[in-house]
Amino acid sequence: MAKKLDVDPYTTNPVLAPLLDEIAQVAFTAHAGVNIAISAAVPGATAITGVTMISNWVWDTPRADLIVRNRNTLKEMGVPDQTIHSFMDNSAFPLSVQTNFVESLSHLSHVPGAVDAVVLASTAQSEMQARFITDAVSMLARYQSRTPLSSITAKGTVVARDRSGAIIVAAPVDYVSWTKRISYFAHRRDLAAPKRIALLTGQMSPMAKKHFQALGWTVYERVSL
């Protein structure tokens, strides 16, 4: 049902999750197709939108198999059992987000420090934090497909260094304003390097972009996950 509607079957959205249950119940009890069930559960609706598309294998793989797959992938990466346990038991990660995190991280498995991202993920205290970390790892995996990474650190956020020595910061955010907190981040000594790159899924305010560039950062906006 979720696959037909192009939505996350493990969504925690308080509006969407009950609707999925209702649509499934209508379709089952009435032996109706998905389109008829949507009309019955959501009068006048033709689609449910605003949910990120997820991979076919998240839709098609049984829940238990996804859990085993995620655990085995982390083991193969050399993640300690206690770290795997802490991550897998973290309720901040819906199974779909957990799976996307593991899948993205698997593309960074040979990068020194990649395991540290699992340690950071295990400390996420909300789904928003879980999705931020997951999307940051996804962005670095895409970067890695073009420019090999040489190391990853995960202290508060996930930061990488590529083989040219450039620092790569992935920020899956909509908008960055120049605030005291952002200024502190831009000036962080542990991020000092001849070349520094900030990848944003959204954009910076003109003032923030001006200050970042003045400090030697190269800013890329509207980067795909």
Q: What SS3 state is found at 12? A: coil
Q: How far apart are the first and last CA of the chain?
A: 25
44-74 as b/e: b if 16+ CB within 10 A: eeeebeeeeebeeebbeeeeeebeeebbebb
Pairing of strands 149-154, 158-162: antiparallel
Residue 212 has pLDDT above 80, yes or no: yes
Question: So where are the chain's domains?
Answer: 2-41, 56-220
What is each CA distance from 13 to 40, 66, 80, 190, 225, in whole angstroms? 20, 21, 32, 37, 21
Regarding predicted confidence, which is higher, 23 or 145? 145
Q: Tell me how far apart the alpha carbons of residues 132 and 105 are, in angstroms, rounded to a whole number.
A: 14
Q: Encode pLDDT of 120-160 as tens digits.
A: 999 999 999 999 999 999 999 999 999 999 999 998 899 99
- Mean pLDDT for 30-44 is 44
Q: What is the pLDDT of residue 55?
A: 58
